[in-house]
Amino acid sequence: MGARVTGEQELPSPIGVRSERHVRWGAATVLLAGLLACAPDRRAGEPPRHLVLVTVDTLRADRLSAWRAPRATSDLAGLVTARGGIPAGRKSLDELAAEGVVFARAFAPRSQTFPSMATLFTARPVPEHGCFDNEEVLCTEVATLAEVLGEAGFATAAFTTNKLLVSGSGIEQGFDHFFADFSEERDVRAVAAATQWLRERDLQAGAPMFLWVHLMGPHLPYAPPPLEGVDYATLFTEPGYAGSADGSREFLDEAYRTGRELAPADVEHVRALYDGEIARVDHVLSLFVEVLSGALPEQPVDVLSRSILAVVADHGEELAQRHGYWAHSKSVYDSGLHVPFFVRHPASLTGRRVFGEIVGLEDFMPTVLDWLDVAAPGDLRGRSLLPLLDGGRWARRDAFASWSDRIFTVRTERWRLVLNPERIEPDDPPKGPYPIPEVGLYDVVADPLERHDVAREHPDVVRELSGRIATWLEGSERVCAAGAPVSQQRLDDLRDMGYLDSGEGEAEDR
């Protein structure tokens, strides 16, 4: 029998509100709910052979239509259909999620790329791998997913588009092939490079593969270029918008730094540009899925049906939800930490498809290793989610996160507690106000945007959750010794991206 879904009625789900496609999924989801009466038997189907991981930078869960955003941001199929048909083999993110298993309450350990990706690839919380900030390097002592799969005979390849995820950062450990591109067309180029890599392999009889593609689209600036004739910059913006706001870092940083309040129409315009980036990244993902499905003559092998396809984000984005701050690095709230996360392999999936249990990015590695029948290192903190998928016993989880090694937070199904004992104000660039209370408690069910601090009203909850943070920290054993040396190149890249103060004026390419 399936594990209990707490608060299932308010769960985000692949049931959207816009298109007929969504209505059809709605019916399918109801049908699937009926299957809960049967004991799911995931292992009865054909096991997956490959792992394809797509990480999307800065993709906030509640902006996806698959997570019930009112806009069809991740329903490319509907979009292209409106323009004359969708090519065979392409699927939107919403469609892929509906064919997989959605973890509707998944959380990143830090609202910043490198710490979060280090957790995804090591199954360890930030205090264990020690990469508290983007400036760190992942140490060689820690076993990564690519290393474990490589030792098990997998061919491993990475295609990245973020300057933090490069050879020399430590994230490359275990990858036989490592491609990086930072041009404006980086996402499309990463997919093209992955396609080329696939074409050079024997996909029928060759080794199993771990293929990782990181897409950058929704990261600032919000200025989506057109793709295949679709103008993503105007897709969701109001045609009659007469303001001067845009999605550039210069404009948004300046407004934030100077405390200049944007008009509601300006805020909505910029958020519509961000949503356009999501729709574009959904389009890029569909191009990749088309390749994986074998629909193209130059790559005729269906890899998709034999793969676990996992889609996850490294963190979300504030989008001016508090203090006029648009980016992510300072956030210790759902806006920055709640991420989309789903896995898809229809041949070995039955039973419930939407899970509201709290999970973390550290659970990804044990889950896919379990699913691929590859032994995991023994002391991982993350846990396989397969017992949850298979309807087995599942103990409640909390999602812990931090800002650097100074501010800590825990998210349960009902609450978020933030502890800022030194009353630090995050100083990540861009400079600007981001006050965080010494103790902040939010009822995320009644107040999903975490606007009202109710710590005074619930001292018992504060005490209980503070204890859980302390236990979590005490139980975290640092795997990496002192921080690895950081190269000058890495510091330069960080500065380029706006993660370090440039010292004077604006960095050029952030």
Closer CB to Zn ion, residue 65 or residue 113? Answer: 113
**How many Cβ atoms sit within 10 Å of the Cβ of residue 449?**
13
Closer CB to Zn ion, residue 117 or residue 444? Answer: 117
Residue 92 lies near Zn ion (rule: CB under 5 A): no
Residue 113 lies near Zn ion (rule: CB under 5 A): yes
Q: Which two tokens stand for residue 76?
A: 């490319």
- 3-state secondary structure at position 225: coil
Rounded to the nearest whole angstrom, what is the least distance from the CB of residue 112 to Zn ion in the complex? 7
When binding is defined by CB under 5 A, the residue of 147, 314, 318, 334 that contacts Zn ion is 314
Rounded to the nearest whole angstrom, what is the least distance from the CB of residue 315 to Zn ion in the complex? 5
Rounded to the nearest whole angstrom, what is the least distance from the CB of residue 102 to Zn ion in the complex? 21
Q: Which two tokens stand for residue 57?
A: 């930078």
Nearest residue to Zn ion, by Cβ distance, number only = 113
427-444 b/e (C-beta count within 10 Å ≥ 16 → b): ebbbebebebeebbbbbb
Closer CB to Zn ion, residue 187 or residue 314? Answer: 314
Rounded to the nearest whole angstrom, what is the least distance from the CB of residue 55 to Zn ion in the complex? 9
Rounded to the nearest whole angstrom, what is the least distance from the CB of residue 113 to Zn ion in the complex? 3
Task: Give the integer Cα–Cα distance in Å for 326 and 270.
Answer: 10
* Residues binding Zn ion: number (CB under 5 A): 3
Closer CB to Zn ion, residue 209 or residue 401? Answer: 401
- 3-state secondary structure at position 139: coil
Task: Give the integer Cα–Cα distance in Å for 360 and 222.
Answer: 27
- The answer to whether 379 touches 28, Cβ cutoff 8 Å, is no
Task: Give the integer Cα–Cα distance in Å for 440 and 461.
Answer: 11
Rounded to the nearest whole angstrom, what is the least distance from the CB of residue 342 to Zn ion in the complex? 18
Q: Which stretch binds Zn ion (CB under 5 A): 51-59, 144-152, 229-237, 340-348?
A: 51-59
Residue 277 lies near Zn ion (rule: CB under 5 A): no
Phi, psi of 106, deg, nearest 5: -110, 140
Burial of 311 (0-12, 13-18, 19+ CB in 10 A): buried
Closer CB to Zn ion, residue 135 or residue 268? Answer: 135
Q: Which stretch binds Zn ion (CB under 5 A): 56-64, 86-94, 98-106, 477-485?
A: 56-64
Residue 317 lies near Zn ion (rule: CB under 5 A): no
Rounded to the nearest whole angstrom, what is the least distance from the CB of residue 492 to Zn ion in the complex? 18
Closer CB to Zn ion, residue 57 or residue 95? Answer: 57
- Give, as one character, the DSSP assignment of residue 88: T
Rounded to the nearest whole angstrom, what is the least distance from the CB of residue 320 to Zn ion in the complex? 18
**Which residues neighbour 293 within 8 Å (Cβ) at sequence distance 6 or greater?**
89, 302, 303, 304, 305
Closer CB to Zn ion, residue 113 or residue 420? Answer: 113
Task: Give the integer Cα–Cα distance in Å for 439 and 416.
Answer: 11
Phi, psi of 432, deg, nearest 5: 165, 170
Q: Evaluate the CA torsion angle 147, 148, 151, 154 in order and state its sign.
A: negative
Q: Which stretch binds Zn ion (CB under 5 A): 224-232, 310-318, 357-365, 444-452?
A: 310-318
Q: Which stretch binds Zn ion (CB under 5 A): 40-48, 57-65, 134-142, 495-503?
A: 57-65
Residue 57 lies near Zn ion (rule: CB under 5 A): yes
Which residues of this chain interact with Zn ion, rule CB under 5 A?
57, 113, 314
